[in-house]
């Protein structure tokens, strides 16, 4: 029994390493998700700018169409000035022309403002496209790094698992089965060394009988609370 415990002590060190490496693998999707989220945020910013650009360009087009229409009316009314026969009609046309020109003046100012806004958005879009390219390059690099890291971690896990498998051949089958069940459930910590009167894993007080059994080393002893295997030097 004591020999089994000595072997398991060595195996336990490897299992700690294995599960630490497993945790690294489990964290990789989260790291990728963070970078993907950054990429989606940059894409969303670009789409928003594209939508704003379309809206301003449409508004600019509408104002230009309205301006052209009013200018056509001004030319039409100016042509009619030479044809009117009364001062009242002449005055009415002059008033209408003056009103249209005033409207056009405002429209031209609006169009200039919209043109400036369009230029500003286009500049922002160019900057955002560069930001997106940088983020895409970072994502590609990160994925490559994580893929390489995954390969290396899996290789280390396989090497440790092979060493463990060979070492476990020296443990009684029934004990080996128990150990594997616990180490899987407790994610790498199945065997703990008792130095005082509490379980070092769960910090629960150990019964005197358990403490005596641990010292005797003539059978496998378990913590009543966390069910881990206990041993002492």
Q: What's the confidence (pLDDT) of residue 145?
A: 92
Check: CB of residue 193 under 8 Å from CB of residue 200.
Answer: yes
Strand order in the sheet with 221-222: 191-193, 229-231, 221-222
Torsion of CA 129, 130, 133, 135, to 10 degrees: -100
Write down the pLDDT at residue 220. Answer: 92
pLDDT higher than threshold 80 for residue 186: yes
The verdict on pTM exceeding 0.85 is: no
For residue 161, CA distances in Å to 16, 19, 229 come to 11, 11, 20
DSSP string, 166-203: HHGGGS-HHHHHHHHHHHHHTTS--EEE--SSB-TTT-
> What does the DSSP 8-state code read for residue 225?
T
Q: Which helix (H) or strand (E) holds 102?
A: helix 87-167
pLDDT recorded at residue 168: 96
Task: Identify the pLDDT of residue 85.
Answer: 85
User: 53: closest CA among 126, 138, 157?
Assistant: 126
Paired strand residues for 229: 191, 222
Q: What is the mean pLDDT of residues 135-149?
A: 91
The band of 179, judged by pLDDT with boundaries at 50, 70 and 90, is: very high
Helix (H, G, I), strand (E, B) or coil at 205: strand
Instruction: Using alpha carbons, select from 14, 9, 7 the residue that is nearest to residue 170.
Output: 7
Q: Report the alpha-carbon distance of residue 227 to residue 201 in Å, rounded.
A: 10
Tokens 């945790």 locate to 23
Q: What tokens were used for 43? A: 């894409």
pLDDT one-digit tens code per residue, 90-120: 999 999 999 999 999 999 999 999 999 999 9
**How far are the Cα atoms of 27, 98, 100, 118, 204 from residue 112, in angstroms, in the given order?**
53, 21, 18, 10, 77
Mean pLDDT, rounded, for 55-81? 95
Question: What is the overall mean pLDDT for the chain?
Answer: 94
Supply the pLDDT for residue 2: 83
Q: DSSP secondary structure string, 133-146? A: HHHHHHHHHHHHHH
Q: What average pLDDT does range 30-44 have in this prediction?
A: 90
Q: Is the pLDDT of residue 1 over 80?
A: no
Residue among 31, 12, 40 nearest 149 (CA): 31
What does the pLDDT read at residue 84? 87
Cβ-contact 157, 16 below 8 angstroms: no
Q: Which of 44-58, 78-92, 201-215 has the lowest mean pLDDT?
A: 78-92
Which domains does the chain show, CATH number per domain?
7-169 (1.10.287.1490)
User: Looking at residue 31, what is its pLDDT?
Assistant: 86
């Amino acid at each position: 029994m004591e020999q089994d415990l000595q072997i398991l002590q060595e195996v336990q060190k490897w299992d700690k390493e294995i599960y630490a490496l497993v945790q690294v693998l489990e964290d990789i999707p989260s790291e990728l998700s963070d970078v993907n989220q950054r990429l989606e945020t940059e894409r969303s910013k670009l789409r928003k700018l594209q939508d704003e650009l379309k809206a301003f360009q449409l508004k600019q087009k509408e104002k230009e169409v309205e301006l052209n229409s009013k200018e056509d009316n001004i030319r039409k009314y100016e042509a009619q000035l030479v044809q009117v026969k009364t001062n009242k009609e002449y005055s009415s046309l002059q008033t209408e022309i003056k009103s249209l020109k005033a409207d056009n003046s405002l429209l031209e100012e609006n169009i200039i403002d919209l043109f400036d806004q369009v230029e500003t958005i286009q500049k922002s879009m160019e900057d955002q496209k560069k930001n997106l390219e940088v983020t895409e390059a970072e994502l590609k690099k990160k994925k490559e790094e994580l893929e390489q890291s995954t390969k290396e971690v899996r290789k280390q896990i396989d090497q440790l698992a092979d060493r463990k498998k060979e070492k476990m051949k020296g443990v009684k089958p029934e004990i080996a089965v128990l150990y594997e069940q616990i180490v899987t459930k407790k994610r790498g910590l199945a065997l703990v060394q008792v130095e005082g009167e509490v379980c070092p894993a769960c910090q629960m007080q150990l019964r005197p009988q358990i403490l005596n059994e641990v010292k005797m080393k003539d059978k496998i002893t378990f913590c009543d609370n966390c069910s881990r295997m206990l041993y002492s030097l």
